[in-house]
Amino acid sequence: MNIKQKYLKNINFPSDIKKLKQFELKNLADEVRQEMIDAVSETGGHLGAGLGVVELTVALHYVFNTPNDKLIWDVGHQSYPHKILTGRKDRIRTLRKGKGLSGFTKRSESEYDPFGAAHSSTSISSALGIAVANKLSNKSDNVIAVIGDGAMSAGMAYEAMNNAGASKTKMIVVLNDNDMSIAKPVGAMRSYLAKILSGKIYFSFRETIKLIISAFSKRFSKQAGKAEDFLRSAVTGGTLFNSMGFYYMGPIDGHDTDSLVSVLKSAKEINFNGPIMIHIKTQKGKGYEFAEKSEDKYHGVSKFNINTGVQEKSKSNIPSYTKVFANTLVKHAEKDSKIVGITAAMPSGTGMDIFGEKFPARMFDVGIAEQHAVTFAAGLATEGFKPYATIYSTFLQRAYDQVVHDVAIQSLPVRFAIDRAGLVGADGPTHAGSFDITYLSTLPNFIVMAASDEADLVRMINTSVDINSQPSAFRYPRGNGIGVNLPSINEKIEIGKGRIIKEGKKVALINFGTRLNECMVAYNNLLKKGINITIFDARFAKPLDENVIWQLAIDHEVLITIEEGSIGGFGSHVSQFLNDKNLMDNNLKYRSMNLPDRFIEHDKPDLMYKNAGLDSNSIENKILDTLNSKIIVKKTN
């Protein structure tokens, strides 16, 4: 789609924006918005959040001297307009593609990205660190953090504000209040911001005070400033932000470029020894009708038709792992009133929206607060309930201390449904579920399962319902299953027991997770070469199926484990077991296949697994290399 551009075509870097007249900024913002809609329609990605901050982005780069002044975007999915205006316009249609632009801010991508972000609520903390570093280095550069899209529901934001207010360090925080995260935000903060926004009388009085300040001589300005502070407290009842040491400005219209430029200039020039909070009100999806009407469905999108808003759908009729999980849990909850679901601001992403529709009183969206979600689940478990903490692998990392201290040590039966396990594609390393096998399997008395397909996921959910004396977790990937028939909710798995898939000689391949299908491809290729291997689907990283692993080690010359996780996970536990039982002394050749000790950049999932050395071809070569075979398998391009 060709977009007629009058302004954007001449904007390559923020310095070009400064050449415009202020009244032209609105026109530039309109062109940036259209460019973003057009680009994301081709690439997919995060749409709604970026559309809501177009005017803000233009105004920030107009007022501040980036990259010397540091502009930090929380989460990063608001940053597409920022990328368009900071030297990446010509590459914007490579978003989230292999070797293309990241969908988030990334330090290695641009000097205009001073801090990488893809998880929520890190902006104020990192901005304060940069601001303090500037102060210690006697630098006067400005530091601006943009937080919003629900990120203020996370405790880390308040920890940072508490520290910032006490530090008396000059920095600017822009609160982008769009009344949304991925879904509607929850909690007291949402109500608090709504009360501030309802106090419109404050605006007219405040403007009156400004007129008084400008009309009187400078010797009265200090008293007038005190009057404004008094007015702010009297009319709004005081603000949380003021009480935490911030100079509060707002709320203002985040789509009015003139107002934005004015308030940003004021914040830049104000003589205040401490942090400044600028509260702006925006609309998620602004400027694109379909995104405005359905903010949650247009938070993250696949490719779509601009004219109709229709997104490309998977051609597969096979249900996603997420949907299989949700539907199975609903069936159990219909019979067991003790089952409750918990999500951390991801109801649609985790399938908890499906559960919540059936059991609204038993589904809890706690906001972007994974730490709280885990301990909240632990509290429920102490009273005999069966909480399912349904959290992406990458986000569960944020609550690891709570998993250890509040769940594992007390041996509470919290069930962790770990979505997005393994490599996830376009979101890249920040969202990859690379470490949960390792960080959960190290915990005493924890049960850790991984489904090899959607049928086994059902069995693991069925099994977890009856685990009432210890914590458990089952992991499953993003995307659709492989198309197998689903068992009933009565079919369970014996704890710590795997299954033999194929029986062969010399080589035993032990799978943990959804690499099983790739193992089968490798098996068939090797069979054509006269090599018949054993495939064992372990199902459990903890407890291990020690009897079967012992027998496999005795009966085979080569033992190879494979998993979609980091070093230190399933393979390490198998290795520890083999060593403890002196099974390595029998000339057993043991190898492990796991994610390499590096982060895998975003790409299509199959290409990421090939890059990681966990595709069928890599499995085949690993087996042949270990056997010291002369057969050479050509690597495909």
In eight-state DSSP terms, residue 484 is P
Do residues 452 and 509 share a domain?
no
Asked if the structure places residue 81 within a domain, the reply is yes
Lowest mean pLDDT of 135-149, 203-217, 262-276, 456-470, name the range: 203-217
Find the domain containing 433 and state its range: 321-475
pLDDT at 243: 84
Q: Evaluate if residue 236 carries a pLDDT over 50.
A: no
Do residues 389 and 505 share a domain?
no
Q: Evaluate if residue 189 carries a pLDDT over 60.
A: no
Do residues 508 and 384 share a domain?
no
| Angle subtended by helix axes 257-269 and 25-43, to nearest 10 | 110
pLDDT at 186: 54
Last residue of a domain, one of 419, 441, 475: 475
507 has which bridge partners?
558
- Please give the C-alpha separations between residue 514 and each of 454, 455, 564, in angstroms, as whole numbers: 9, 12, 8
Asked if the structure places residue 482 within a domain, the reply is no
Do residues 521 and 604 share a domain?
yes
CATH of the domain at 539: 3.40.50.920
Asked if the structure places residue 360 within a domain, the reply is yes
Q: Is 284 a catalytic residue?
A: yes
pLDDT at 346: 92
User: Cα–Cα distance between 278 and 275 in angstroms, integer?
Assistant: 10
Tell me the pLDDT band of 193, cut-offs 50, 70 and 90: low
Q: Name the most confidently modeled range: 180-189, 283-292, 295-304, 544-553.
A: 544-553
How confident is the model over 107-134, as pLDDT tens digits?
A: 999 999 999 998 889 999 999 999 999 9
Q: Which of 55, 295, 370, 620 is catalytic?
A: 370
Do residues 71 and 187 share a domain?
yes
Looking at the structure of the chain, the number of domains it has is 3
Asked if the structure places residue 343 within a domain, the reply is yes
User: Cα–Cα distance between 171 and 55 in angstroms, integer?
Assistant: 21
Tell me the pLDDT band of 623, cut-offs 50, 70 and 90: very high
Q: Is 499 helix (H, G, I), strand (E, B) or coil?
A: strand
Do residues 251 and 350 share a domain?
no
Do residues 294 and 358 share a domain?
no
State phi, psi for 400 to the nearest 5 degrees: -65, -40
User: Cα–Cα distance between 194 and 279 in angstroms, integer?
Assistant: 12
Do residues 390 and 252 share a domain?
no
Asked if the structure places residue 483 within a domain, the reply is no
Q: 449: phi > 0 → left, psi -120 to 50 → alpha, else beta; which?
A: beta
Higher pLDDT, 348 or 221: 348
The mean pLDDT value of the chain amounts to: 89
pLDDT at 227: 47
Burial (CB < 10 A; 0-12, 13-18, 19+), residue 530, is exposed
User: Cα–Cα distance between 250 and 240 in angstroms, integer?
Assistant: 13
pLDDT at 293: 79
146 has which bridge partners?
73, 174
Asked if the structure places residue 406 within a domain, the reply is yes
Burial 63-76 (b: 16+ CB within 10 A, else e): bbebbebbbbbbbb
Q: How far is CA 504 from the centre of its chain?
A: 42
Do residues 28 and 152 share a domain?
yes
Q: Is 70 a catalytic residue?
A: no
Percent above pLDDT 70 for the chain: 88
CB 44 within 8 A of CB 92: no
How confident is the model over 165-178, as pLDDT tens digits?
A: 999 899 999 999 88
Asked if the structure places residue 230 within a domain, the reply is no
Q: Which of 89, 284, 459, 622 is catalytic?
A: 284
Do residues 251 and 337 share a domain?
no
User: Cα–Cα distance between 540 and 76 in angstroms, integer?
Assistant: 35
Helix segments in 5-143, DSSP class H: 14-17, 25-43, 48-52, 54-63, 80-85, 123-136
Do residues 280 and 340 share a domain?
no
Do residues 175 and 84 share a domain?
yes
How confident is the model over 567-576, as pLDDT tens digits?
A: 999 999 999 9
Asked if the structure places residue 148 within a domain, the reply is yes
Global pTM value? 0.86
User: Cα–Cα distance between 218 and 448 in angstroms, integer?
Assistant: 68
CA angle, residues 442, 594, 464, in degrees to nearest 5:
50
- CA nearest to 612, candidates 546, 515, 536, 526: 515
CB 88 within 8 A of CB 110: yes
Q: Which of 96, 106, 398, 539 is catalytic?
A: 398
Last residue of a domain, one of 436, 459, 475: 475
Q: Evaluate if residue 4 carries a pLDDT over 50.
A: yes
Lowest mean pLDDT of 46-50, 214-218, 455-459, 521-525, name the range: 214-218
Instruction: Describe the chain by its helix, strand, coil percentages, rounded to 5.
Output: 45, 15, 40
CATH of the domain at 80: 3.40.50.970
Helix segments in 284-320, DSSP class H: 289-293
How confident is the model over 380-430, as pLDDT tens digits?
A: 999 999 999 999 999 999 999 999 999 999 999 999 999 999 999 999 999
User: Cα–Cα distance between 385 and 388 in angstroms, integer?
Assistant: 10
How confident is the model over 273-302, as pLDDT tens digits?
A: 899 999 999 998 998 888 887 756 677 788
CB 99 within 8 A of CB 48: no
Q: Is 362 a catalytic residue?
A: no
